[in-house]
Chains A and B, each alone.
Chain A
Amino acid sequence: MAGRRVECTWKRHVAEQLKQRDRVQRQAFEEIIHQYNRLLEKSDLQAVLSERLQTEKYELQDRHDVSPGAESLQQEMAQIRIRHQEELTELHKKRGELAQSVIELNNQIQQKDKEIQSNEAKMLEYQQQIAQLEGECRDLRSSLADLERANQTLRDEYDALQITFSALEEKLRKTTEDNQELVTRWMAEKAQEANRLNAENEKDCRRRQAKLQKELADAAKEPLPIEPKRVSQTPPAGLLDSISNIFGYVDSLLSSLSLSLSLAPLPSLSLCVYSTVCQDAHDGEVNAVRFSPGSRLLATGGMDRRVKLWEVVAGHCEPKGALTGSNAGITSIEFDSAGSYLLAASNDFASRIWTMDDYRLRHTLTGHSGKVLSARFLLDNARIVSGSYDRTLKLWDLRSKVCMKTVFAGSSCNDIVCTEQCVMSGHFDKKVRFWDIRSESIVCELELLGRVTSLDLNHDRTELLTCSRDDLVKIIDLRNNAVRQTFSAQGFKCGSDFTRVTFSPDGSYVAAGSADGVLYVWNVLTGKLDKTLDKGHSSAINSVSWSPSGTYVVSVEKGSRAVLWSDM
């Protein structure tokens, strides 16, 4: 509050001082100066008027009616005029000010007008935009409705198709079931037939046995002459001969039966000790060897471009004939399942088929661009699959003798085997490829540790035997495509890229030829090496074949020799 009082002091002082100043300086003189100026004006006016009157007097001397009243009137009028002029100047000033304010207001108005215009323009724009957006919205809604309807239709169709599909599935299932039933019935019938035949055979057998026993009894009563032992390794006793004869009959019967019915194959007899050597089977390397399905014929193929046929008679190989026609060495030989055709693949890029009854060349299948390393009949005997050095596999139709399909395998194919649906090929790139015949595509690929040189299937086609350059022979279970067993031996070396190995007909033994000329036989059940047969070969063994009867094994070597092993 003290501050306020102090404040009031100086403020009041200032106010009072100003008032006093005005009193002294202004008010005292204001009136006087005003009156003085008026007097001055008047005197000026008087002076001007008197001057004018003077001049007028000299000019208008005969004007008598210049009354003093008029003078005073004129003076008054002059005064009035002056006053009016002052007012006029004041009004001019005011007018100037007003004009200025008018100009300012006009400017403001113009500005506002401009703003209004721009706002209106904007509003128009916005309205247009709104109309456009509404149109778009309507279009979108209608298209949405259309899409929903289409969607609904599709859904209905889909449901209908689902129903049809399930009905068809049901039908298929039923048909498959019926099919299965018929197949099993047929199998049962066949089994019955086989049993009947078996029973007949047994009866026959027993009859013969009885006869034999009788003969034996008779013979036992007589004294027998002793014969000198032969040098050749032919069997000594005629007794055994006749036994083998009997078995020979049984052999052929059963082997023929096994062809037509899928019966269990013959057990191989305890293995060969004796060997028959055929020197100079070919002029040059012998590459391939194969027994015919009937076990009596044997075919060998070599670098001398010939396929030689031999008959196996009582432990000997009798040359029967030769098939010519190839322009380069033979790489693989196969008989068809009936034994009436022989298929040989050759280094001259072609595969050839001869008929067995007249040894005539029937077909030449050309088309490969590299040596054909392996050719097989498919199970229906109407088609052939061949694998070649040119990395392709070709499927040939025998009726039209044309190549039906070519499959690029990616690597040179060394050997092929076939099942009903599947073709298996072993390749240079260590892989075994499984092909589906119909779809022409790889079903599976197995990789081994060395180049695959040979493939063989067992009798029921459940196991695949492979030989590879890493000196391992493997059995692959075809049901799960996995290696089941591996066989190796200390001296066993895979001699070439085309060394062929084989199963025994019952699948219990595996035979493979080694680079040092020794034939190794392993027991599948134990997995161990069963026999090594080294008396016979002088050079690397190229191929091995086991007779379907199980009694003979033939191996061929680089040194143009073929050895027949038997247990006779």
Chain B
Amino acid sequence: MTLPTPIIMADDKDVLRDVWFGRIPTCFMLYPDEVTEREAEPFYLLLPRVSYLTLVTDKVKKHFLKVVKAEDVEEMWFEYEGTPLKWHYPIGVLFDLHASNTALPWSVTVHFKDFPERDLLHCPSSSVIEAHFMSSIKEADALKHKGQVINDMQKKDHKQLWMGLQNDKFDQFWAMNRKLMEYPTEEGGFRYIPFRIYQTLSDRPFIQKLFRPVSPEGHVLTLGDLLKEMVPAAIYEPKKYQVVIHGIEPLLETPIQWLSEHLSHPDNFLHICIVPAPND
């Protein structure tokens, strides 16, 4: 089997674009118990899958601040069907994990009071989001290249990555990010694949372990090999579980190296959600 080359081919670029511009139709509704002057109307927004809640919900805040009294407003937070939504997970991950098989649009409840200190992190400013985003990228690069590529980049390159995400600029982001997707040809892939596996009913927030994309014998390992090692139940009971990445279910024979290169989030992690299959 020929090994995939690091050159991004034309259809690969389409995949990247589709991943970047993925959107989730969301309906934001104010929590009924919040005191309002008049009735709050829901606010609809197409949220980018790859971004973070607190980064893209300024309009939501502005909309609801029109009806909520200023003195009652604390930090805004979101919740879906009782579960507080962690803003530091990418939006796509939150949707796939909690509401992947529900009816669209995604109904998210907006709160301005009673911030759940135990479940959520505070997000006072965008620089907090930037710090979290950059640290994820560095962690991913540490797994992929021992951190050499990210450390060789200058501060302005890091800034470019963040600005690209913040301003939704695909070209600007990928001008820098493609460096992080390179690997020496003789290796056949990254050192370790940066991935996180989320499960709905799990005591752990996510599974993250060391996993090489190429076996010691030289075989290219696939998504199925990864899951076999990390979540064997998903393999052996395929009817029970769905393996969702970016809202789609890739075939289990997809090479994990290709997945990491093309289906990672902007923070360079491959976020995989294991959800119960719908029994319709």
Contact = CB atoms under 8 A, between A and B. Distances in A.
Q: Do A and B come from one complex?
A: yes
B15 A14 contact: yes
B57 interface: no
Interface in A137-176: none
B250 A17 contact: yes
B249 A44 contact: no
Interface stretch (A23-31, A309-317, A343-351): A23-31
B247 interface: yes
B25 A25 contact: yes
Interface in B42-75: 43-46, 63, 66
Contacts of B156: 104
A64 interface: no
Interface of B: 1-2, 4, 11-12, 14-15, 18-19, 21-25, 41, 43-46, 63, 66, 104-105, 156, 159, 163, 167, 246-251, 253-255, 258, 262-263
Contact of B250 (A14, A25, A32, A104): A14
18 contacts: A9-B253, A10-B250, A17-B248, A17-B249, A18-B15, A18-B246, A18-B248, A19-B18, A20-B248, A21-B246, A21-B247, A22-B18, A22-B22, A25-B24, A25-B104, A26-B46, A33-B45, A36-B44
Given A14-B263, A97-B163, A9 B251 contact: yes
A18 B19 contact: yes
Given A18-B246, A40-B43, A30 B23 contact: yes
Contact of A6 (B21, B22, B250, B253): B253
B104 A24 contact: yes
Secondary structure class of chain A's binding surface, majority of residues: helix
A40 B251 contact: no
B248 A14 contact: yes
A128 interface: no
What are the 7 A-B residue pairs with the smallest beta carbon separation, nearest first?
A29-B25, A17-B248, A3-B1, A10-B254, A18-B18, A33-B44, A26-B23
A427 B149 CA distance: 98
B15 to A, nearest CB: 6
A40 B248 contact: no
Contacts of A104: 156
A245 interface: no
A345 B12 CA distance: 131
A257 interface: no
A17 B163 CA distance: 29
A15 interface: yes
Contact of B11 (A11, A22, A25, A26): A11
A198 interface: no
A13 B34 CA distance: 45
A100 B22 CA distance: 28
B104 A29 contact: yes
A48 to B, nearest CB: 9
A182 B254 CA distance: 131
Given A17-B249, A21-B248, A40-B41, A28 B66 contact: no
B251 A13 contact: yes
Contacts of B105: 29, 33
Nearest to B9: A11
A13 B250 contact: yes
A180 to B, nearest CB: 103
Interface centre among B4, B19, B44, B104 (most CB of A within 10 A): B44
A33 B263 CA distance: 27
Contacts of B246: 18, 21
B14 A15 contact: yes
Given A14-B15, A15-B15, A40 B63 contact: yes
Contacts of A13: 250-251, 254
Nearest to B172: A97
Given A13-B254, A30-B23, A33-B44, 20 more contacts: A3-B2, A4-B2, A10-B254, A10-B255, A11-B258, A14-B248, A14-B251, A14-B262, A14-B263, A15-B15, A17-B250, A18-B18, A26-B23, A28-B25, A29-B44, A29-B105, A33-B45, A40-B41, A40-B63, A44-B66
A10 B256 CA distance: 11
A57 interface: no
Contacts of A11: 11-12, 15, 254, 258
A538 B174 CA distance: 137
B255 to A, nearest CB: 8
A263 B43 CA distance: 159
A401 interface: no
